[in-house]
Amino acid sequence: MSEELSNFIHDIVDADLAAGFSRRIHTRFPPEPNGYLHIGSAKAIWINYSTAQKYGGLFNLRYDDTNPVREDEEFVRSIEEDLRWLGCAPTGGIYYGSDYFDKCYEFAVKLIKEGKAYVCDLSPEEMREYRGTLTEPGRESPYRSRSVEENLDLFERMKNGEFPNGSRTLRAKIDMASPNMNLRDPALYRILHVPHHRQGNKWCIYPLYDYAHPIQDALEGITHSLCSIEFENHRPLYDWVIQNIGFENPPRQIEFARLNLTYTVMSKRYLRELVETGRVDGWDDPRMPTLRGLRRRGYTPTSIIEFVRRAGVSKTYSIVDIRLLEYCIREELNQSAPRRMVVTKPIKMVITNYPEGKTETFSIPNNPLDPESGTREVMFSRELYIEEEDFSLNPPPKYQRLRLGGEVRLMGAYIVRCDEAITDDAGNVVELRCTADLETGNGNREGGPKVKGTIHWVSADHCIEADLHLYDHLFTLENVADVPEGTNYLDYLNPNSLQKLTGCKMEMALADAQPGERFQFVRIGYFCKDTKYDNTFNRIVVLKDSFKLPDQN
Listed in sequence order, the DSSP H helices in 280-342 are 291-297, 301-311, 322-336
Given the residues 268, 295, 309, 539, the one annotated as active site: 268
- Going by DSSP bridges, is the β-strand pair 383-387/458-459 parallel, antiparallel, or unpaired? antiparallel
368 by Cβ neighbours in 10 Å (0-12 / 13-18 / 19+) ranks as: exposed
| Distance, CA of 343 to CA of 458 (rounded, Å) | 7
**What is the DSSP code (8-state) at residue 217?**
H
Nearest to 45 by CA among 33, 57, 62: 62
Verify whether residue 258 is a known catalytic residue: yes
Taking residue 493's Cβ as centre, other Cβ atoms within 10 Å add up to 18
Instruction: Show the 3-state SS of 16-69.
Output: HHHCCCCCCCEEEECCCCCCCCEHHHHHHHHHHHHHHHHCCCEEEEEECCCCCC
Verify whether residue 268 is a known catalytic residue: yes
Verify whether residue 398 is a known catalytic residue: no
Given the residues 54, 70, 103, 258, the one annotated as active site: 258
Nearest to 217 by CA among 231, 203, 230, 205: 231
Residues 6+ apart with CB under 8 A from 145: none
Given the residues 32, 80, 232, 383, the one annotated as active site: 32
Element (H, E) at 281: none
Active site residues: 32, 258, 268
